[in-house]
Structure 1
Amino acid sequence: MAAPILSYEDLGLVQGSGWLFRHLDIQVGQRDRLALIGRNGAGKSTLLRLLAGAVDPDEGRRTIVPGTRVVMLEQDPDVSAFATLRDYVAAGDDAPLGHEAEAIADKLGIDLDREAQSASGGERRRAAIVRALAQEPDVLLLDEPTNHLDIHAIDWLEGWLGRFNGAFVVISHDRTFLTRLTKQTLWLDRGSVRRAEIGFGGFEAWTETVFAEEQRNAERLDAKLKIEEHWLQRGVTGRRRRNQGRLAKLKDMRAERAAMMGPQGTAAISIGHEDGRSKVVIDATHVTKNFGAGDTKRTIIRDFNLRVTRGDRIGVVGANGAGKTTLLRLLTGELQPDAGTIKLAKTLDGIVIDQQRKLMAPDKTVRDVLAEGGEWIDVLGTRKHIHGYLKEFLFDPSLTEAKVGTLSGGERSRLLLAREFARPSNLLVLDEPTNDLDLETLDLLQEVIADYDGTVLIVSHDRDFLDRTVTVTLGLDGSGTVDVVAGGYEDWEKRRRPRGDGKKPAKVAATAPTPAPAPSRKLSYKDQRDYDLLPKRIEEIEATIARDEAKLADPDLYVKEPATFARLMQAIDKARTEKDAAELRWLDLAEQLEALN
């Protein structure tokens, strides 16, 4: 690593009643491309502000090469003191040159003369990006730069950062963005920071190695990891492994959906039968929607056809203003088409999780939001204690009485997801669900969507998330045409790419006949036995958990028999640990068997 131009030595910061982190050593080199990774609440944004010099530490020494310009892009820029976004961009002694700001604003598609008070979150974010990039920084500190940006703006920002001659440190939930741009990783984990000279593409393999080493060290010392550390390890690594299994299933679902598609170039998805599994829940036929009249008339959706069947996961992508929200409102019956028809199944019962997070009143407690002030929450017809349910969504049960206003943006989003996923429904509508979520919560959300029994509609600019969750992508380009593609964002992007130049591929030299494949090997006796018996064991564990949770459903148990209550809670935690281990073992064996055959 080259000599750093910005560094902190022995950094420590107190937050609340204790240390948020302590004894951190951080260096930023002249051309570093650093991904800053960590869970919600770990202190990532605070660490960026410390690096920027906007927050004073309780311990440590900040060193910076003279003349180095450090610029920070915050998550939620405050424009309340300015009349227009242009005034915000041009404010202060460090304001960028006007022509530089105007050029970047033009590329990002933002009108800087927009009134600041009425600007949307996306417009404020674009204005903040204009100000940050036009200041010609040597070090850029970027906190969720892709939040509220559309696909085109993200593509442009990726290109700009790829050409950037300085260094940057970026916090982002956008895996594709991080994988394409970063070359080093800072991992903020349990109050300490680790650095690896690998980009985000190698992050998951690196963390698996770290967790495995921690486990080995604990076993050598004949000690157990702390409960929360074991829970963290099991949650992160286990969820990743289970999601790999779900991705294989998703590929099968996409292949099945592709087989239902009409001739290439048409948008209609037809089905040969309507059994219980493939029953049509939304049927759109020759739908057109216009806005305005006369010379200002604009066709948002033109001659759109789609059949959505039960269990489909539909992703909607496109630039801001292309009509994504309009299409979503049409498909859910909130908006009527100007031409064509949209039929919704009579039994359709939907839940909409919107970008504004309107239900998250800052003065409410976590208990109020989840259980209306009580101890129990009904989760899809099953009663669960609030502490156990919070753990399922990666919360420490001690946050039960915390005010919503004290939670981070990611924690508020996760709390809303926990609340909404507990409600019975057969249609889930997610509008930009990944904003403010950390990577572990995205893994959790992927898992919950995969296990959801109904139909899902997702509007998102998160390309990796769509690739991991949806079976069909609806792509809008602003012309009124809606591309219907079986698969995720990557499949839609391939459809959009220019066709080849028409040249035939070069001939491949003839080779010797390929030898017949060797006979496939088999699993060992023990492995084969585990592979055969584990599914039944998992069902037995699930039945045990359900039995104990039914006992906990007695509202008087907590008061009358606190020891029994505690014993049941402990037994449920132990059973879930065993179930996770059994699922991971079975997935390992399934992967081995697939490789052998």
Structure 2
Amino acid sequence: MAAAILAFENLGIIQGSGWLFRHLDIHIAPRDRLALIGRNGAGKTTLFKLLAGIVESDEGRRTVVPGTKVVLLDQEPSMVGHATLMDYAMAGPDAPDVYEVESIAHQIGIDMTREASSASGGERRRAGIARALAMNPDVLLMDEPTNHLDLAAIDWLEDWLKRFNGAFIAISHDRTFLTRLTRATLWLDRGGIRRKDIGFGGFDAWTEQVFAEEQRNAERLDAKLKLELHWLERGVTARRKRNQGRLAKLGEMRAERAAMLGPPGTAKLGLVSDDVRTKSVIRAEQVSKSFGGREIIKDFSLKIQRGDRIGVVGSNGVGKTTLLKLLTGELQPDSGKIILAKTLNAVVIDQQRSLMSPEKSVREVVADGGDWVDVRGVRKHIQGYLKEFMFEPNIVDAAIKTLSGGERSRLLLAREFARPSNLLVLDEPTNDLDLETLDLLQEVVADYDGTVLIVSHDRDFLDRTVTITLGLDGSGKVDIVAGGYADWEARRAENAGGGSKKKNASKPVAVEAPKPKTKLTYIDQRDYDGLPKKIEKIEAAIVRDEELLADPDLYTGNPAKFAALNKAIDAARVERDKAEERWLMLAEKAEGLS
């Protein structure tokens, strides 16, 4: 292992009434490419500030090789006191060379003469990147570098980092970004840190091994710790296992939609009859829209069916928002027509967390101050419902202002997903979410009964959720591809004649037109068809029993019932896991018979 140019030994810092983390040893070598992973609140941003020397530790020793320049790219660059973005970039005694800033700003597509006070999140992010990279760092600490960037800017940043001669550590929810660039992983977990010299692509398998080992060791520990570890395993490992089944189902849905689409970039509007299962909810016929003489959308046709999950991708300014407004009826086309189902009831989830008053409590926001939440027609106890979004039961009376940005995002999702709807519109839903919350969002979208429209630059999230991708390139043409971002990227490479030069993309599910299948045996087919409903019933029973356990007086008032409920929940989880594994095996078997 190369000698460290930046290190911290026995690092510890106190936050609030206790240690945020303690006894951390971190060593960064000259060419390290590290992913820093940890749940919201684990202290990732604080650790970055300690490594950068911005805040002092309560214990431990920081050492830096003389002449080493450590640069921190903040998640939210502060523009206070700066008239323009260039003023921000050139502020401070360590300001970079103006020509370096201008060169990078031109490449990443940002006008540095823009007024800082009115700059968008994406413009501030680009200005922060231009300043950080122009400083020629030896160690670059990047906190959510792809937040608010479009696909073109993310591609540029990835290419720059591949050529970068220094070391970098990245905190990011963008799995594709981390998988493509990192070669080692730092995992900040429950006040400690682990390092493994594998890129982020191997992180899931590593954490599952760690949790499995801890689960075995927990049998020798007290019940409270066992319960905590079991919750972690259920919330991370088991969720990923269930998502494998959802990905298999997503592959089937994509195959069905591929069969409905005509030649590349077109759709057969009249191919599918409007029966109960496939009734169209949005139909676009030869739609065109222009602004200021520029054609934004040209001759776009598509029938969106109930249950479709549509991803909209493209660089900033190519017309994604225009297309979304056309599909939801907010904007009328210049020519062609948009037909919306009369029963369409939409919920739009964007980044407007300001709608949740900081002074209100979680209970007021989610349940109007009560104990029960009506979740799309199903009554649930607020503590049980919030558990589904990875909140502890004692958070219900916390004020919104005390929550982190990621927690507010999760709470917004919990509130909006409870509302009755059959159309869900997600506008950049993954910003500010940690990886575990992204797993949760993927799961909730997969289980949503209605139709979903998603505008996102998160390539991995699109690969794992959408059945059709609508790709815009600014020419007015909309490419219609059955599948996710990787499928659209492959289509672009084919159209450009560069299929052999295509980047390696994470593509969890291959999409092909359906082929005739050799039948499963009677028993296998029965289980394959029936297990999903059985799993749903088991999970409903688990949720019911967990709601009963949420009663804070149950343990002291009726310890026998408390113990019985815990035993029933554990048995149900074992039964559910066996059923899921059986279904996954059958899904793989059915796919192999194709």
| TM-score after normalising by structure 1 | 0.89
| 2:30 alignment partner AA | Q
What is the CA distance between 1:390 and its match in structure 2? 1.6
Query: Distance between the aligned counterparts of 2:294 and 2:291, measured in 1?
Result: 5
Unmatched 5+ stretches in structure 1 = 505-519
| 2:420 alignment partner AA | P
8 Å contact 1:384–1:549 — kept in the other structure?
no
8 Å contact 2:219–2:226 — kept in the other structure?
no
Between stretches 63-72 and 209-218, larger displacement belongs to: 209-218
What is the CA distance between 1:364 and its match in structure 2? 1.9
8 Å contact 1:552–1:568 — kept in the other structure?
no
Which structure 2 residues correspond to residues 139-154 of structure 1 after superposition, within 5 A? 139-154=139-154
Which structure 2 residues correspond to residues 417-566 of structure 1 after superposition, within 5 A? 417-498=413-494, 538=535, 541-542=538-539, 544=541
Question: Is the partner of 1:60 in helix, strand or coil?
Answer: strand
* Equivalent in the alignment of 2:89: 89
Question: Is the partner of 1:4 in helix, strand or coil?
Answer: coil
Between stretches 493-502 and 259-268, larger displacement belongs to: 493-502
| 1:372 alignment partner AA | D
What is the CA distance between 1:270 and its match in structure 2? 4.2
Question: Is the partner of 1:358 in helix, strand or coil?
Answer: helix
Q: 1:545 to 1:238 in 2, by over 3 A?
A: closer
1:582 aligns with 2:579: no
Which structure 2 residues correspond to residues 258-407 of structure 1 after superposition, within 5 A? 258-292=258-292, 297-407=293-403
Deviation readout 1:434-464 (Å, 9 max, x if unpaired)? 0011111111111111110000000000000
Q: 1:569 to 1:174 in 2, by over 3 A?
A: farther
* Equivalent in the alignment of 1:100: 100
Deviation readout 1:275-306 (Å, 9 max, x if unpaired)? 111101001111111112xxxx2111111111
What is the CA distance between 1:361 and its match in structure 2? 2.3
Between stretches 191-200 and 396-405, larger displacement belongs to: 396-405
Q: 1:530 to 1:191 in 2, by over 3 A?
A: farther
Question: Is the partner of 1:401 in helix, strand or coil?
Answer: coil
1:135 aligns with 2:135: yes
Q: 1:407 to 1:547 in 2, by over 3 A?
A: closer
Q: 1:209 to 1:383 in 2, by over 3 A?
A: same
Query: Distance between the aligned counterparts of 2:431 and 2:246, measured in 1?
Result: 23
* Equivalent in the alignment of 2:230: 230
Between stretches 214-223 and 160-169, larger displacement belongs to: 214-223
Deviation readout 1:462-518 (Å, 9 max, x if unpaired)? 0000000000000010111111111000110011114587999xxxxxxxxxxxxxx
Identity among equivalent positions (%) equals: 68
8 Å contact 1:432–1:458 — kept in the other structure?
yes
8 Å contact 1:74–1:142 — kept in the other structure?
yes
Q: How many residues align?
A: 571
Query: Distance between the aligned counterparts of 2:540 and 2:101, measured in 1?
Result: 61
* Equivalent in the alignment of 2:514: none
Query: Distance between the aligned counterparts of 2:263 and 2:301, measured in 1?
Result: 13
Unmatched 5+ stretches in structure 2 = 501-517
* Equivalent in the alignment of 1:18: 18
Question: Is the partner of 1:497 in helix, strand or coil?
Answer: helix
8 Å contact 2:542–2:573 — kept in the other structure?
no
* Equivalent in the alignment of 1:39: 39
Between stretches 213-222 and 491-500, larger displacement belongs to: 213-222
Query: Distance between the aligned counterparts of 2:443 and 2:437, measured in 1?
Result: 10
Deviation readout 1:75-104 (Å, 9 max, x if unpaired)? 111102111101111111111111111111
| 2:538 alignment partner AA | I
Query: Distance between the aligned counterparts of 2:136 and 2:543, measured in 1?
Result: 59
Deviation readout 1:358-408 (Å, 9 max, x if unpaired)? 323222221221112222211122222222122110111222222222222
Between stretches 269-278 and 72-81, larger displacement belongs to: 269-278
Question: Is the partner of 1:35 in helix, strand or coil?
Answer: strand
* Equivalent in the alignment of 1:513: none
1:125 aligns with 2:125: yes
Q: 1:95 to 1:397 in 2, by over 3 A?
A: same
Question: Is the partner of 1:117 in helix, strand or coil?
Answer: helix
| 2:464 alignment partner AA | R
Between stretches 248-257 and 348-357, larger displacement belongs to: 348-357
8 Å contact 2:535–2:579 — kept in the other structure?
no
Q: 1:471 to 1:574 in 2, by over 3 A?
A: farther
* Equivalent in the alignment of 1:511: none
Question: Is the partner of 1:165 in helix, strand or coil?
Answer: coil
Query: Distance between the aligned counterparts of 1:209 and 1:548, measured in 2?
Result: 29
Supply the RMSD in Å over aligned alpha carbons: 3.1
| 1:176 alignment partner AA | T
Query: Distance between the aligned counterparts of 1:160 and 1:92, measured in 2?
Result: 25
8 Å contact 2:290–2:334 — kept in the other structure?
yes
* Equivalent in the alignment of 2:503: none
| 2:289 alignment partner AA | K
What is the CA distance between 1:551 and its match in structure 2? 8.7
| 1:169 alignment partner AA | I
